[in-house]
Amino acid sequence: MMFFLVLVILASCTAAPTDLTGKMFTFPQATDTARVKLLTLKNDFKAVTVCLRSFTDLRRDHTLFSLSTPSSHNDFLIFKDATNNDVELCTRDAEVDFNLDYKLSSWSSVCGTWDAASGLGQLWMDGKPSVKKFISSNSNIRGTPIILLGQEQDSHGGGFDPNQSFVGMMSDVHMWDYVLSSCEIRKYVDELNFTPGNVLNWKELDFQIVDRVLIEDKQKTCSDQLSAAHKHRQSPDMDFKMEFFVLMMLPACAAGLQDLSGKMFIFPQKTNKAHVRLTASKQDFSSVTVCHRSFTDLRRDHILFSLSTSSNSNDLLIFWDDKNKEIEPHIRDQKVEYGGQEYKLNMWHSVCTTWDSSSGLVQVWIDGQPSVRKYSSSGSSISGSTIIILGQEQDSHGGGFDINQSFVGMMSDVHMWDYVLSSCEIQKYVDELNFTPGNVLNWKALDFQIVDRVLIEEKQSSCH
pLDDT tens profile 394-419: 999 999 999 999 999 999 999 999 99
Cβ atoms within 10 Å of 17's Cβ, excluding its own: 12
| Model pLDDT, residue 462 | 61
CB 163 within 8 A of CB 30: yes
Whole-number percent of the chain with pLDDT over 90: 83
| Domain boundaries along the sequence of the chain | 10-217, 238-462
Residue 68 near residue 149, CB atoms below 8 Å: no
| Burial class of residue 359, CB neighbours in 10 A (0-12, 13-18, 19+) | buried
Q: What is the mean pLDDT of the chain?
A: 90
Cα gap 273→353, rounded to integer Å: 26
| Residue 425 reports pLDDT greater than 90 | yes
The more confidently predicted of residues 230 and 328 is 328
Q: Is 84 exposed, middle or buried (0-12, 13-18, 19+ CB in 10 A)?
A: exposed
Integer Cα distance of 286 and 214 in angstroms: 18
Topology of domain 238-462, CATH: Jelly Rolls (2.60.120)
Domain spanning 10-217, CATH class: mainly beta
Q: Give the strand order in the sheet containing 86-91.
A: 10-18, 205-211, 35-38, 146-149, 62-68, 76-81, 86-91, 94-98
113-130: per-residue pLDDT in tens?
Answer: 999 999 999 999 999 999
H-helix segments, 12-100: none
Q: What is the per-residue pLDDT for 219?
A: 81
pLDDT value of residue 8: 41
pLDDT for position 16: 79
How far is 313 from 332, CA to CA, in rounded Å?
Answer: 8
User: How many other C-beta atoms are found inside a 10 Å radius of the C-beta of residue 337?
Assistant: 12
* Phi and psi based region of residue 278 (left: phi greater than 0; alpha: psi -120 to 50; beta: remaining): beta
Rounded distance, CA 240 to CA 87, Å?
46
- pLDDT of 328 > 50? The answer is yes
In this predicted structure, what is the pLDDT of residue 212? 96
Backbone torsions φ then ψ of 165, nearest 5 degrees: -70, 155
Same fold, 10-217 and 238-462: yes
> Which tens digit of pLDDT belongs to each residue from 255-299?
468 999 999 999 999 999 999 999 998 889 999 999 999 999 999
Measured CA to CA in angstroms, residue 272 lies from 260, 322, 408 at distances of 25, 19, 11
pLDDT in the model for residue 135: 96
Q: Which residues contact 139 (CB under 8 A, 6 or more apart)?
A: 92, 116
CA of residue 42 relative to chain centroid, distance: 35
Taking the C-alpha atoms of residue 437 and residue 306, their distance in angstroms, rounded to an integer, is 20
pLDDT of 185 higher than 80: yes
Angle ∠(113,119,122) on CA atoms, nearest 5: 30
Alpha-carbon span 431 to 426, nearest angstrom: 9
Q: Which residues contact 96 (CB under 8 A, 6 or more apart)?
A: 88, 89, 90, 121, 133, 134, 135
Q: Are 428 and 225 in contact (CB under 8 A)?
A: no
What pLDDT, in 10s, does the model give residues 4-53? 334 444 444 555 799 999 999 999 999 999 999 999 999 999 999 999 99
Higher pLDDT, 194 or 230: 194
Is residue 307's pLDDT more than 70? yes
Q: Is the pLDDT of residue 178 over 60?
A: yes
Angle, alpha carbons 340-26-194 (nearest 5°): 100
pLDDT tens-digit series, residues 220-255: 766 544 444 444 444 444 333 333 333 344 444 544
